[in-house]
Amino acid sequence: MAERSGKRQAMKLQNDAPVYMTMTGNRRQETGNRSDASRFWVPLAVFFLACSLFAGCSRLPVLEDLSTMKYTFFNQDSARVSFPSTYKGKIAVVSFIYTHCPDICPLTTNNMQRLQDTLAAAKLKGVEFVTMTFDPNRDTPRVLKEYAEIRGIKFSDWDFLSGSDANTDSVTYAVDVRYFPHDSTYSKDGTLSYYITHTDKCILLDREGRVRGEYSGSQLDFPAIVKDLKSLE
Amino acid sequence: MIALLISILMLTPAGHSGISIKDATVGVAAKGMSSAGFFEIVNDSDMPDTLYGVKASFADMAQLHESFRKDGMVGMRPVKFVAVPAKSTFFFKHGGHHVMLMNVKEDLKAGDKVKLELLFKRAGTITVEATVKH
């Protein structure tokens, strides 16, 4: 919003500029125009000061508003979580995975761990990590916990969520994360194994539960997401 | 004597075949989950070779796979073989070719060592020790 206001202000100044230039030949008028200009420059300076103070809190566009959503999920301890309302008041980085993925999803999880460490080192607090499975039938809370524990994940500010198919579909549809079963095969014990082709995405939620950024999870642009996180602080 | 010979063969990465395996790693995984193996195949010989299979006693199933990316979607599929031209290096790496390891029999923790058997048409079976990594 501030960015839009800024653009509007800049356009207004640009439109006024030729008027100012035509009066520079007249000293009295020029003085008078300085006064007129200050009417623009002072608010503009205040505006930019406010922008710097709030570090572009509105620099990022709202890509999707999830604030009215309340879908029930269960975290790695089987505790009920309402998504995204449980995380209201916090900035959240939400990634989407399935634990049977051997290549891309572990990269995403590793990147989330690195990001968590990066934020801790930078003393950026109040960021919650959420990893949601789009394979909830296999990824039960217990499985998610095992997946996380073997990776040494710190649960203090990180939830791994599993929910019903319907709730998972609702959330992922809203944030444009797609997935569908791909090749499948049977294990020796007759268990059906399948791979999932899926969107490689993690999202940034602001304190209101609105999507303010989207990134590749497995090829995470660290400088970009850290910059965006700081702008939402 | 036989044990010594086997040990020497295992410690010799590039035998007469000219094929050697470098930087073999396997991803961490809890028991019952999937993991992936990564490494470099270096072919120093003047002959091409073909990797056509893989065995891993610590997993229920091991397959040659490749990941693909299209229109923002990612997935993977089995591959039947990988050709390694003469005087070349082929990378099994994240986001590309990898060894799919399904239903690992024990927890694979960072720092653990596991063995992969790579089946080559010309070089035969090459056993490598892979380090478990995040």
> pLDDT per residue over A21-63, tens digit each?
323 333 333 333 444 555 555 555 554 444 444 444 558 999 9
**Once rounded to an integer, what is the mean pLDDT over residues B115-131?**
97
Contact residues on chain A for B25, CB-CB shorter than 8 A: none
Nearest CA in chain B to A181: B75
- CB atoms B107 and A150 under 8 Å: yes
Q: Domain limits at B74?
A: 2-133
Token pair in block for residue B45 = 């010989």
Buried-exposed string A198-233: b where 16+ CB fall within 10 A, e elsewhere? bbbbbbbbbbebbbbbbbbbbebeeeebeebbebbe
Q: What digits encode the pLDDT tens for the residues B77-88?
A: 999 999 999 999
CB within 8 A of A94, min separation 6: which ones?
A84, A130, A131, A132, A175, A202, A203, A204, A205
Q: Do A187 and B60 touch (CB under 8 A)?
A: yes
Both structure tokens of B73: 């979607």
Provide the CATH topology of domain A64-232: Glutaredoxin (3.40.30)
Q: Is the CB of B57 inside 8 Å of chain A's CB atoms?
A: no
Report residue B36 as tokens. Answer: 């992936």
Measured between alpha carbons, how far is A72 from A85 in angstroms, rounded to an integer?
Answer: 10
Measured in Å, how far apart are chain A's first and last C-alpha atoms?
A: 16
The residue among B92 and B9 whose pLDDT is bigger is B92
User: Please, which pLDDT band fits residue B20 given cuts at 50, 70 and 90?
Assistant: very high
Q: Which of B74, B110, B134 sits opposite A198 (nearest CB)?
A: B74
**B102 vs A147: CB contact, 8 Å cut-off?**
no
Interval A167-195 mean pLDDT: 86
Sign of CA dihedral A9, A15, A16, A18: positive
Query: β-pairing, A179-186 with B35-43?
Result: unpaired
* CATH code of B86's domain: 2.60.40.1890
For residue B94, pLDDT over 90 is answered with yes
Q: Tell me: the pLDDT tens digits for A154-165? A: 999 999 999 999
- pLDDT, position A24: 31
Q: Which of A177, A216, A213 is nearest to A197 (CA)?
A: A177
Contacts of B101 in chain A (CB under 8 A): 102
Place of tokens 């059906």: A192
Tell me if chain A has a CB within 8 Å of the CB of B106: no
The count of structural domains within chain B is 1
What is the pLDDT at residue B30?
A: 95
B35 versus A17: the higher-pLDDT residue is B35
CB burial of residue B12 (10 Å; 0-12, 13-18, 19+):
exposed
B11 or A173, greater pLDDT: A173
Each residue's pLDDT tens digit, B43-73: 999 999 999 999 999 999 999 999 999 888 9
pLDDT band at residue B2 using 50, 70 and 90 as cut-offs: low
Given a contact cutoff of 8 angstroms between Cβ atoms, the answer to whether B24 and B132 are in contact is no
Is the CB of B36 inside 8 Å of chain A's CB atoms? yes
Cis-peptide, bond into residue A84, ω within 30° of zero: yes
Whether residue A198 and residue B73 make contact (CB cut-off 8 A), yes or no, is yes
